[in-house]
Structures are given as structure tokens and as C-alpha cells.
């Protein structure tokens, strides 16, 4: 029986609390794979018998930072962490903690994701403020 793309996309959001562009892409190009991903998410990511959802989301954020992940992807896991009880201060503390081990570029990308989610009123970090000639 063919996989119902719309049902699997609804399942994505129901399981995770968010839906990302990758999920829509997979629904279009390989709905069987999306179903398999959802099955894994249901058995491992959502299952809280050992680790609670907040701990899992914080660990995922660290993994994403270490890969210098896109701000948009970090943002959805920050959202999921908040939904599971994390605070903005806890997430910022984790970014600063792992930034020393992971690297400056990864930390900046994570800080930008944090800014987008928690303080969109602040200007983007990824911008040039001023360029000038330096004394030679």
C-alpha cells in the first residue's frame, strides 16, 4: 500500500512539534523514506523511557552546533527544547559552554539561531557594521 504523503507530514508535526522543509522534500521525492524516518523518530526520539525530551533536545542542539548546522535547523530544536521545558538562558549557557570546544564559527551560527528564536528584536549577528581603511 502506498504511503499517504499528507498523513506522514501530519505525523511529522504531531511527533516532533515542528515540521522542516526537509520533511516536505522527502514527502515529495521519497515518502517511504519519510515514513521510515517517522518510525525511527517515534521509537527513539519521542520515547522518553530513559532520557526526557528536554535532555534529548539539548543534546541534539549540541550535535547540531558541532556540525555548524544552519540557524533555521537549530531554531526548530531550540523551539522543541523550550516546549520540553528548557529556558533561553539554559540554551545560551550550552552554546557558550560547547563553543570553546567546537569552535568560534559554530558558536556564532548557534548564537544567531538563539537570537532569531529568543531575541528577534536584536539585529542579526551576521552583518557587516563598518568597513574602513586601516592605518598602514
| Model pLDDT for residues 3-22, shown as the tens digit of each residue | 999 999 999 999 988 898 99
pLDDT beyond 90 at 129? no
15 domain-assigned: yes
Same domain as 61, residue 37: no
Q: Is a pLDDT exceeding 80 seen at residue 136?
A: no
Statement to judge: residues 21 and 69 lie in one domain: no
Please tell me the predicted confidence (pLDDT) of residue 51. Answer: 92
Range of the domain at 30: 5-45
Residue 108 is predicted with a pLDDT of 92
Both 60 and 35 in one domain: the answer is no
Q: Which of 123, 19, 114 has the alpha carbon at shortest distance from 61?
A: 114
What integer pLDDT is reported at residue 49 of this predicted model? 86
Q: How far is CA 45 from CA 13, 103, 124, in A?
A: 13, 27, 31
| Whether residues 22 and 61 fall in one domain | no
Residues 77, 32: one domain?
no
Closest of 118, 12, 21 to residue 70, by C-alpha:
21
Is 34 in the same domain as 78? no
pLDDT tens, residue by residue, 83-127: 999 999 999 999 999 988 998 889 999 999 999 999 999 999 988
CATH number at residue 89: 1.20.1290.10
Within a domain: 83: yes
Same domain, 23 and 73: no
How high is the pLDDT of residue 44?
86
pLDDT range class, residue 23, cuts 50, 70, 90:
very high
What's the first-to-final CA gap in the chain, in angstroms?
Answer: 72
With cell 520515547, the residue in question is 47
Q: Are residues 65 and 16 in the same domain?
A: no
**What is the reported pTM?**
0.80
Number of independent structural domains in the chain: 2
Q: How does pLDDT run across 62-90, given as a tens digit for each residue?
A: 999 999 999 999 999 999 999 999 999 99
Spell out the residues 6+ positions from residue 68 whose beta carbon is closer than 8 angstroms to its own: 103, 105, 106, 109
Q: Are residues 113 and 61 in the same domain?
A: yes
Q: What is the pLDDT of residues 42-55, one digit of tens each?
A: 888 888 888 999 99
Amino acid at each position: 500500500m502506498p504511503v499517504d504523503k499528507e498523513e506522514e507530514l501530519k505525523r511529522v508535526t504531531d511527533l516532533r512539534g515542528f515540521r522542516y522543509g526537509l520533511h516536505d522534500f522527502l514527502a515529495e521525492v521519497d515518502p517511504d523514506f519519510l515514513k521510515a524516518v517517522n518510525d525511527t523518530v517515534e521509537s527513539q526520539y519521542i520515547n522518553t523511557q530513559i532520557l526526557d525530551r528536554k535532555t534529548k533536545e539539548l543534546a541534539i542542539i549540541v550535535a547540531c552546533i558541532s556540525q555548524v548546522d544552519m540557524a533555521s535547523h537549530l531554531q526548530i530544536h531550540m523551539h522543541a527544547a523550550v516546549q520540553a521545558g528548557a529556558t533561553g538562558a539554559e540554551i545560551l549557557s550550552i552554546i557558550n559552554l560547547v563553543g570553546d570546544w567546537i569552535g568560534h564559527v559554530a558558536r556564532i551560527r548557534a548564537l544567531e539561531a538563539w537570537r532569531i528564536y529568543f531575541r528577534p528584536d536584536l539585529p542579526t549577528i551576521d552583518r557587516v557594521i563598518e568597513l574602513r581603511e586601516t592605518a598602514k
